[in-house]
Structure 1
Amino acid sequence: MSMMANQHQAINLSQGFPEFDTPAFLKDKINQAINEGKNQYSPSNGLPDLLTQIAEMIHRQYQSHLTDEKKLNGLNNITITSGATEALWVAIQTLISPNDEVIIFDPAYDSYEPAIELAGGTCRHIALAAPSYAINWELVEQTINEKTRAIIINSPHNPTGSILNASDLRTLQALVEKYDLYVISDEVYEHMTFDGLRHESVLRYPDLFKRAFVVSSFGKTFHCTGWKMGYCAAPAELTAEFRKIHQYVTFCSFTPAQIAIAQMLKEQPSHITALASFYQQKRDLLIKALKDSRFTLLPSKGTYFLLLDYSAISTLNDRDFCIWLTKEIGVAAIPLSPLYPAEHREAYHQENKVIRLCFAKNDETLLKAAGILCQL
């Protein structure tokens, strides 16, 4: 969709990356590290200073000491990865063997299923229903069987903007304990929750964390998606297994970026605490600008995405509608159907007419796009 947007000079609200720049402090620190010659391999697990800063940030955000209340250095619990997608892939390869099953919730980030299939596993899909996109935990328990190995959760959820609450996490913990399961928690939008809602990280639940991999993204947090910097937090025994695979995937991640991010976490912690209000302002701006449109706006409780129901505007399926919107109208969006399994897409087309907009854009871009959309 980004390529199509460029080809047709459309306003790109499709792919999920910020239009604005990385913080100046972070750019200065990475340039400093490069100019000082700190350009060689880092330890495979990550620079110790960065691991320490992440552990301290986790303690500030979630009141979690990981698995050892006396040690906040993260050396045994955190691994730096080349983006959150690598962390997800490695966590899946660590857990999943042939014939294992993994429960995922649709619409789902499209890297989950290929990684599971490459490990020899199978996905069991559970569809989330608009407008709340809440998880039906009774259905989850009915889906669990002797082959079920893990459940993948994503909160705040891409693409729907829904979030899990404390009751969801407690119910998940009970299922994990009852059926001897593992959890992979995709929390890359963890610092973007709105309207005073709290992000319920798996890191807040020590008994759940004992059987979990928690995946996070510096690219989302610091507006530097092209740096491909993420990390995985897990109990020491799971981290040891995770690292056995990680060392043969990328071995280590970009050293100057690790140095810069460690300094950012240490000296500019306010960036993280201000992120929710920063993105809520953009969400609210876009919602207000679209209030007179013919779209029906769905709730966005987190992430930097907003879903729009276009059923009052067109009978096209979501893929064709997004192509038309980009080529003929000049605004690029993302269809949701590719985030469902292929065998379910036709049914999805019949029942849903929903597209995703990314509001991680400059205000003038959002207002210009909304002005065009309001004319439909």
Structure 2
Amino acid sequence: MPKVSDRIGSFTDSVIRRMTRIANSHGAINLSQGFPDFDPPEELKEALRKVAEGSIHQYAVTWGAPNFKEALARKQSRFMGIPIDPETQIVVTCGSTEAMMAAMMTVCNPGDKVVVFSPFYENYAADAILSGAQPIYVSLKPPEFNFDVNELEEAFKQRPKALILCNPSNPTGKVFTLEELQIIAEFAEKYDTFVITDEVYEHIVYEPYKHIYFASLPGMFERTISCSSLSKTYSITGWRLGYLIAPANIIDGARKVHDFLTVGAAAPLQEAAVTALNFGDEYYRNLRDVYTQKRDFFIKGLDRLGLKYTVPQGAYYVMVDISEFGSKNDLEFCEWMAREVGVAAVPGTSFFREEINHLIRFHFAKKEETLDEALKRLENLREKARERSI
């Protein structure tokens, strides 16, 4: 029998989503895969009910329903501070996962190099491999997760085709400063490199930190492919509505890639989601306040437990240091914790290129009662760990 592709042997299935399956099998509280256990806004649910009763059940325009793109362009133009043409500068995708893959396949040729900050959302390495590109990793140094300018320029000197920028960062919760973004912009221009941004947590940023859209920096829109989705902002991760925003010449190519990857995103969901895209500024202020409360509640619980962590500046993840438990395999530790303690996390090795196995990622996009129960279960972590080592 013929062999399958060599490239699929160079990466594993998603460890994040594997941990969800493990959590489900043991009845653990799932603080691994980042999705809420609460509903989206009632107005959005009502819009979906109305759409379901209507007649929008066939294909939308391949690269996005016109009214969805128009609403998205209005909303993103407002927040990004740059005018966006819904007809020529947007492609609607099946989630930001497809948006990132489409962006990579649009700009990269086989053999091109792509800069990836480490730690990174696990899809990025697979995206590069599936695109035939070669990742160049640049370290974000824990616990602050800042980069070394010289290391970054050494990566740019290899003439990469693109750099992937996740801001706010998954898994670290880091929000890149204006100074850091300007350094990246300087190198992108100097070495003629595209920047592919993943900005799905653009509205989940904690004071005093501010999210700055990379495409809004002087001269950067022309070389930026901005990827995002509605999943996190509106608590609809199952709707799988994402998008690319870029100059028309890039979008022309991305449309072709998207067309043959998925044809198009779900028409009824695009129709319903227009309601969310038309929300006013109050919605986004409230979203920030809600997640600030969840973050503070969870990290105060970690403080009571005496666990070390890095305070997230954005997104809804927290990296926790498990050095005290002496585990040499963080995946085994997370599997054991889900089984014996009843709380699921993601091992840090699924995010790091470096040999780091003392960090795990929790997420706190849950109801307060869910987080409270998770913290109560974690009170037994040290006792269970002692029993494990005996």
TM-score (norm 2): 0.89
Partner Cα distance (2:216, 2:123) in 1: 26
Residue-by-residue CA offset, 1:116-174 (whole Å, 9 max, x unaligned): 22222111112221111112222111122354111101011001111111111111111
Indicate whether 1:103 and 2:130 are aligned: no
| Partner of residue 363 from structure 1, selected from 368, 372, 381 | 368
RMSD (Å) for aligned C-alpha atoms: 1.5
Say whether residues 1:340 and 2:352 are aligned partners: yes
- Give the equivalent residue in structure 2 for 1:65: 83
The equivalent residue for 1:373 is 378
Aligned to 1:176: 188
CA shift digits 1:262-314 (9 cap, x unpaired): 12222455333322111111000011122121310212001111111122234
SS of residue in 1 equivalent to 2:324: coil
Indicate whether 1:306 and 2:318 are aligned: yes
Cα offset, 1:365, TM superposition: 0.8
Q: What does the per-residue CA deviation read over 1:6-26, in whole Å, with 9 as the maximum and x for residues that have no partner?
A: 211111111111111122211
Q: 1:202, 1:54 → 2: CA distance? A: 18
Which letter maps to 1:6?
N
| Structure 1: tracts of 5 or more residues without a match | 67-72
* Residue in structure 2 matching 1:323, options 307, 326, 335: 335
Match of 1:16 in 2: 34
Distance 1:38 1:303 in 2: 33
Contact 2:166 2:199 in 1 (8 A): yes
Cα distance in 1 for partners of 2:64, 2:263 equals: 10
Structure 2 Cα separation of the partners of residues 113 and 6 of structure 1: 27
- 1:125 paired with 2:137, answer yes
Q: In the TM superposition, what whole-angstrom CA distance separates every residue of 1:85-143 from its partner, at most 9, and x where no partner exists?
A: 00000000001112210010112112212222222211111222111111222211112
How far is 1:62 from its partner?
2.6
Is the contact between residue 169 and residue 202 of structure 1 (CA under 8 Å) also seen in structure 2? yes
Contact 2:302 2:308 in 1 (8 A): no
Moved more, 278-287 or 128-137: 128-137
Cα deviation for residue 206 of structure 1 reads 4.3
**How much identity, in percent, do the aligned residues show?**
34
Partner of 2:56: 38
Deviation at 1:3, TM superposition (A): 1.4
Q: Distance in 1 between matches of 2:326 and 2:379?
A: 14
Per the normalisation by structure 1, the TM-score is: 0.93
Separation in 2, partners of 1:57, 1:130: 34
CA distance in 2, matches of 1:59, 1:150: 24
CA-CA distance at 1:215 after TM superposition? 0.5
- CA deviation vs aligned residue, 1:227-258 (integer Å, no higher than 9, x gap): 11111110111111111211111121111111
- Alignment-mate amino acid for residue 324 of structure 2: A
Is the CA contact (8 Å cut-off) linking 1:295 and 1:312 kept in structure 2? no
Aligned residue identity for 2:57: N
Could you say if the C-alpha distance between residues 267 and 201 of structure 1 is closer, same or farther in structure 2, counting changes exceeding 3 Å? closer
In structure 2, the partner of 1:70 is none
Instruction: Give the C-alpha shift of residue 175 in structure 1.
Output: 0.7
Three-state SS of the structure 2 residue aligned to 1:291 is helix
Tell me what 2:8 maps to: none
